[in-house]
Structure 1
């Protein structure tokens, strides 16, 4: 054989040996599992150390056996896929399959295989990379992402510069920004303006130093609404200790804060109610003799006497004071209202006198009260409360700048529920011409801008009360919240945020509606619509003059206040009754016990030292179950009318009361008792 050919053969043999050595080294040292199987029956011909490390089987345990015999495949479907692709294509790439190791542990491998011919025999050369940890990490990451996506808290991930890289669905729902809108933006898009630069500087210094920042942040939604979050912002570190990201986990606590504030306010109101009750009792005991003695003088002094006008003023002021106390109790205790047929014009005029004396001269008060307005059915004290609340709000709106307050009262005809009802704007114009004319001419869009609709009331005739001011106005973004309980824009000490909420509740309970139109820098108009009472007569209306009703029965009168006894006893005697009076509850009880038949009626105060009127009534009813008892109290929380009736007390009167009210109540009790006895 020529030497040249010999050299080529020798070189080829060398190269083959070299190639085989490389394969052998790669086969033996590869960290991946490499195995050679016979195509015909799948018998293992050889495995490397990587296979042993992955599956736990030694070479001796594996060679000569098949994968089926060793039960290596966790899912037989994976083996079927491998066989099918090898038969069709002769190779398989990156088949992910689960294998069962010798110890039963499930391994995840990424397999590539190819059919080769070795020594005239078809074999399968397979290389499998262990991706168990990677897949487990992937699954864990997927679980983590799912948890983040379904978290009840807002989660935001930013880069080192604060640019947003991820937000979860809660962020989208809470802020109004979609994920697409937020990505790449800075969290400054939520900045509310409620925190100063030092707040943000301290936050950034904390997280950039590798520490976690915790605190509350007031942010602003896409629609401008403010909300408060409890936030924890933490740095995310790379393996080398460098900060790569920041993650913020935040919880919306706006509702919690509102509820906490509401609870605090309710606690405050409860304390105020307790205080008001004590004050009301004492004040009513002072007021009661003033009213009683004034009434007696009015009864004795003829109408034409010059002193009569002064007495009328004293009595009217006493009635106002009594109603004011009732208003305080109604507000602080939420007592049940008493709807009556009333003419609002009388209450409006009285309220205007009161408000006029309490506001500075920088605010001009105008009024246009139609004296011919017909009656409505409402609680007079609550109507007074409405006027006082609205005029007080108007005063606060102009307190610093001065201005003009206008109160009007008129009758209007409403035509239905439509928001484009023409009469509404005419009503607004007629009720407060200056302000609404300014709105109509200078800024005609105001009525549309604030969505001022017709009152949500059925067609009919209504009394319309408006209170307008030329103050700072109400911003558009909060006008829908002004009737919410405890919502207020006033400075601390200027109000609790309950005023308009109470007004709204009173108006709705009376079957009416309230509308508001406002423009910042121009002013505000509140319009209240109350239905006119049908088929009323003036004789039914509250405060109409009645004649005293007289009697001759014997009355036991008890009150621990001597001034009240000195006033009430002569009034009762003037009505014709025979009166025995006591200021000591025990003396009164002894007197009654000695001869209970000599009395036809017991009139007793409720709040007395050592023994209350309720306890006294129980003792007296034990002695004589049929004795009529009238309880008088300056504070209804001491006993309700239902409580009084349940223990056998015949009637219940709130101090201070008029002679007419007392005479009516006495005759009702005694005449009813006579009917039952007959």
Structure 2
């Protein structure tokens, strides 16, 4: 290397090149710097060609980074800048990298190992290639070529020095550009982020920066927040103990609010997710606050919570299964009706409710309907956990994903067991009402005929001597007609066509006269017990009303039994004094006759009452 004779330092020309490159690097790009360096080195080495390759960390890959100006303008038309290719496929010019020593080829054509050059490549007559080595590894190759005279060791010294100088400046430039690129990327991310970002001074809490999304979200201008304390800005000033929270953040270096309401400039409230972390940047602590608008998400969550609440509180059973019928969800109504808990049925097939009351054809039709995307509606009998049966009305529908594929089935079911029982009772009542109307009509006509028979019998009795043979026969006819009239009166009472005609009666005699009809009404499965109490006070009432009351009470008792059972009718006198009536509103003091009808049926629970 050319040195100053008195100092041993590089000559003034080389120093000037070094200073020029340092100054040039400050205002130009890496590519421009490399071109400048190759041009300067080419001038010093009197070389028309100059090139610079990076060597990758694997020491096996080359990347052409730049040609000198003369190389591009006068000699080389081949493409290749920025391309990577294996070192072991490079020609003899790369021997310097392979051997880690400078290489001189002053007669390139005479080299036996030379490889053909790509089309448009500069013609090489002679070349000098310098490997740049750091920490024992080749990091780059700088080469010059086509000097009019042979390259010498003096050229090796000059080019080696300038190659090292170039590498040091290139490294600084690469680091500088990497930092600039990083800052640009950060700024682009900061400016384009769809979340709010707030940068704070970790020591003071003053706002260093705020991105456009946050400013737009809250309605502020940049200069309205920059340099201000966080807790002095409107939305954050409303946060309870925000300054204390900042101290907590300083201490813990982290704070989070999942749902933080912030008020905008125009008075709107937005729900945000607020996360703050403390970071070390250039040996100084800064706080980055990430603020995400979750208003829409909160609305969706609230809607989902309302929907889930409605499903959970629904009186109907709701069941969600996968495509195979395995249960994924049941609501409390399902637990209440079936006796199974949610945990017990999760993952189970709905076959656990199967009662055997429906045949295979029923279930085949059900699955064919819903698997084809249609809705099934129908009734089925299922079995509870305790083994009892219940009837349900079910609507089962497919649930599709956004692509239209069936992913689940949802069933809405209603326990109609009681409804069916009441419906059957209502139908029976309608039938009995029809029978009553028919009986009333027949009884009315029959009563008219009996009135004629009784009337003529009374006339005949007046005309016949009591001692005559016909008198006894007429008396029997009269008694039979009166008994028939009593039966007719009971039928009219049953049909509610008898006019009210109160009279003083003995309650025991009246009820006893109805027993035959009541037993026929109740059927053979019901045992009717009659327990009259003697010494009852006479009462004044229409006997037909007693008949009607007794018929209704006994029929209700029969329905409550629902099979074989016992109904008891009893009477006894009761008295209510003033003290009793004071404790029981609606009662009046006095003597009364009590008529009661009891049964051994299921009775009524508190909810029914």
Give TM-score scaled by structure 1 length.
0.47
Asked if the contact 1:108–1:132 (Cα under 8 Å) also holds between the matched residues in 2, the reply is yes
Q: Is the 8 A contact 2:530 2:568 kept in 1?
A: no
In the TM superposition, 1:308-387 aligns within 5 A as 314-333=477-496, 376-387=508-519
Post-superposition offset of 1:143: 2.0
Q: What's the CA shift for 1:139? A: 2.2
Matched-pair contact (CA < 8 Å) for 1:515–1:527: no
Distance change in 2, residues 1:78/1:90 (3 Å): same
Q: CA deviation at 1:83?
A: 0.6
Matched, 1:21 2:181: yes
Within 5 A, what are the aligned runs for 1:72-111?
A: 72-73=235-236, 75-77=238-240, 79-80=242-243, 82-92=245-255, 96-101=259-264, 104-111=267-274
| TM-superposed deviation, 1:43 | 3.5
- The change in CA–CA distance for 1:140 and 1:527 in structure 2 (over 3 A counts) is closer
Q: Is the 8 A contact 1:43 1:65 kept in 2?
A: yes
Of 22, 37, 48, which aligns to 2:200?
Answer: 37
C-alpha contact 1:340 1:380 (8 A) present in aligned 2: no
- Tell me, in whole angstroms, the C-alpha distance in 1 between the residues paired with 2:310 and 2:573: 61
Q: Equivalent of 2:297, from 134, 140, 143?
A: 134
Cross-structure match for 1:641: none
Instruction: From the superposition, tell whether residues 379 and 89 of structure 1 become closer, same or farther in structure 2 (CA, over 3 Å).
Output: closer
Give the SS at the match of 2:404: coil
Report matched runs for 1:503-582 at 5 Å.
Answer: 505=553, 526=566, 528=568, 530=570
User: In the TM superposition, what whole-angstrom CA distance separates every residue of 1:163-193 from its partner, at most 9, and x where no partner exists?
Assistant: 3322323333344444344434444555566
Change (3 A) 1:227 1:145: same
Q: Residue 327 of structure 1 contacts residue 381 of structure 1 at CA under 8 Å; is this kept in 2?
A: no
- Sort the Cα spacing of 1:143 and 1:507 in 2 relative to 1 into closer, same or farther, 3 A: closer
Q: Tell me, in whole angstroms, the C-alpha distance in 2 between the residues paired with 1:383 and 1:206.
A: 56
Distance in 1 of aligned mates of 2:303 and 2:573:
71
State the partner residue of 1:112.
Answer: 275
Q: Which whole-Å CA distance do the structure 2 matches of 1:93 and 1:118 have between them?
A: 21
Question: Structure 1 CA distance, aligned partners of 2:427 and 2:555?
Answer: 26
Residue 328 of structure 2 corresponds to which residue in structure 1?
165
Q: 1:525–1:209: structure 2 CA closer, same or farther, 3 Å change rule?
A: closer
Structure 1 residue matching 2:199: 3-state secondary structure = strand
Retained in 1: the 8 A contact 2:529–2:569? no
Structure 1 pair 95–142 and aligned structure 2 pair: CA distance change class (3 A): closer
Q: How does 1:276-315 map to 2 (within 5 A)?
A: 276-294=439-457, 300=464, 305=469, 314-315=477-478
Cα deviation 1:477-498 (Å, max 9, x = unaligned):
xxxxxxxxxxxxxxxxxxxxxx
Judging changes above 3 Å, is the alpha-carbon distance between structure 1 residues 162 and 108 closer, same or farther for their aligned structure 2 residues? same
How far is the alpha carbon of 1:331 from its aligned partner?
Answer: 1.7
RMSD of aligned alpha carbons: 5.0
1:313/1:15 CA distance change after superposition, 3 Å = farther
Q: Structure 1 residues 237 and 24, CA, compared in 2 at 3 Å: closer, same or farther?
A: same
Q: Tell me if structure 1 keeps the 8 A contact 2:529–2:566.
A: no
Contact 2:318-2:411 at 8 Å conserved across structures: yes
Alignment of 1:175-214 (within 5 A): 175-191=338-354, 195=358, 197-214=360-377
Candidates 390, 393, 402, aligned match of 2:524? 393
Contact 1:507–1:530 at 8 Å: present in 2 too? no
User: Which residue number in structure 2 is paired with residue 248 of structure 1?
Assistant: 411
Secondary structure of 1:379's aligned partner: helix
Corresponding residue SS for 2:270:
strand
Alignment of 1:149-160 (within 5 A): 149-160=312-323
Post-superposition offset of 1:238: 1.3
Describe how 1:267-282 pairs up with structure 2 within 5 A. 272-282=435-445
Distance 1:61 1:34 in 2: 16
For these two proteins, the number of residue pairs brought into alignment is 397
Q: CA deviation at 1:297?
A: 5.3
Aligned to 2:591: none
Q: Is the 8 A contact 1:341 1:533 kept in 2?
A: no
Distance between the aligned counterparts of 1:28 and 1:117, measured in 2? 21
Q: Secondary structure at the match of 1:76?
A: coil
Shift of 1:218: 5.3
Look at both structures and tell me which one has the larger radius of gyration over its CA atoms: 2
Larger RCO, structure (CA 8 Å, separation 6 or more): 1
Worse overlay, 242-251 or 51-60: 51-60
Residue 197 of structure 2 contacts residue 289 of structure 2 at CA under 8 Å; is this kept in 1?
yes
Q: Is the 8 A contact 2:528 2:566 kept in 1?
A: no
Q: What TM-score do you get using the length of structure 2 for normalisation?
A: 0.51
